[in-house]
Amino acid sequence: MKIKVSVPATSANIGSGFDALGLAVTLYNTVTFEDSEVLDISSADGTRIPRGESNLVYRSAKGLFEKVGKQIPPLKITQTNPIPMARGLGSSSACIIAGLLGANRMLGDVLNTQELLTLATSIEGHPDNVAPALLGGLTSSVFEEGKVYSVKRNVDETLCFAAIVPDYKLLTEAARAALPKEVSHKDAVYNLSRAALVPAAFCEGRHDLLAIATEDKLHQPYRMPLMPGSKEVFDMARLCGAKAVYVSGAGSTVMAVAEKAEAEKFYSKLEKGLELLEGLDGCEAFTLLRLDADNTGATVE
């Protein structure tokens, strides 16, 4: 037996859609599962990962086996992890989805997509990353009383994305701790009205709505002080032609959205601009990832 799972990176929140919206992009973690006499977990690309039972891919796979009343066998698990960790691009969700899909295939696909999504969300705690990782595209999701309600839409393929990844991590726990326990009714309405525009902006060609649809008052103003250089990156991306700029997930990555017709000019300007920002305010370097939307989601071979 050899099973290979590929899972896309994800960009959650999309500005206004805190803990509800997310989209998949063309950067992939891959995991292979093979029969083994003992548990053997390794990294094919040198990324440091847990090599015992605390490994998130393994824990997720084991959880599915336990859910259906089976004992997980010894496995050889090999991971390739280009999705940067603790940067707001869904690395943990990719591990969860990979573990669940690998286990599900071993068991003869005993769980359907809805059941997999519910189990993934129960592990992750919220669906905004696991839903697009599994389904692809742009997802709108709610997790309530142990059930996930999720709608997928394909992202407009004339859009391109620039993930601007700083050299520092921002753990989700720290990013969540920065948020206020209560927000004003005015701020809630502000976000709700803009989140309602996101599907039209990203999926229906209404690029004129991208900037306003991604505005936010619920999380970005509180998280950006934890992200050195992020304000300057926002400003730089807009000067380079970005139609929208937002904090990806909990950060520290900033995601910029542009039209593919202007992609080469956009990326070139952005690379030069980021060079000027390196060393600014506690960030020594930025990595620019050129991405498209992924409308397929995770795959199993």
Q: Is 84 annotated as a binding residue?
A: yes
Q: Is 122 annotated as a binding residue?
A: no
Alpha-carbon separation of residue 143 from 149, 273, 283 (angstroms): 6, 40, 35
Taking phi over 0 as left and psi of -120 to 50 as alpha, with beta for the rest, 150 belongs to: beta
Q: Is 6 annotated as a binding residue?
A: no
Q: Is 44 annotated as a binding residue?
A: no
* Torsion sign (Cα): 175, 178, 180, 183: negative
Q: Is 279 annotated as a binding residue?
A: no
Given the DSSP bridges, would you call strands 21-35 and 40-43 parallel, antiparallel or unpaired? unpaired
Sequence-separated (6 or more) residues with CB below 8 Å from residue 284: 167, 278
Residue 300 and residue 103 in contact, taking contact as beta carbons nearer than 8 Å: no
Q: Could you tell me where the DSSP H helices lie in the chain?
A: 56-67, 91-106, 113-124, 127-135, 172-177, 185-195, 198-203, 210-213, 220-223, 230-239, 263-277
Adjacent-strand bridge partners of 78: 32, 42
Alpha-carbon separation of residue 211 from 49, 126, 194, 201, 271 (angstroms): 37, 25, 10, 9, 21
Q: Is 90 annotated as a binding residue?
A: yes
- CA dist., res. 88 & res. 252, Å (int): 6
Q: Is 94 annotated as a binding residue?
A: yes
Q: Is 89 annotated as a binding residue?
A: yes
How far is residue 271 CA from its own chain's centroid? 22
Q: Is 297 annotated as a binding residue?
A: no
Q: Is 93 annotated as a binding residue?
A: yes
Q: Is 87 annotated as a binding residue?
A: yes
Q: Which of 138, 79, 106, 120 is nearest to 296 (CA)?
A: 138
Residue 103 and residue 72 in contact, taking contact as beta carbons nearer than 8 Å: yes
Feature table: binding site = 84-94
Feature table: binding site for ATP = 84-94
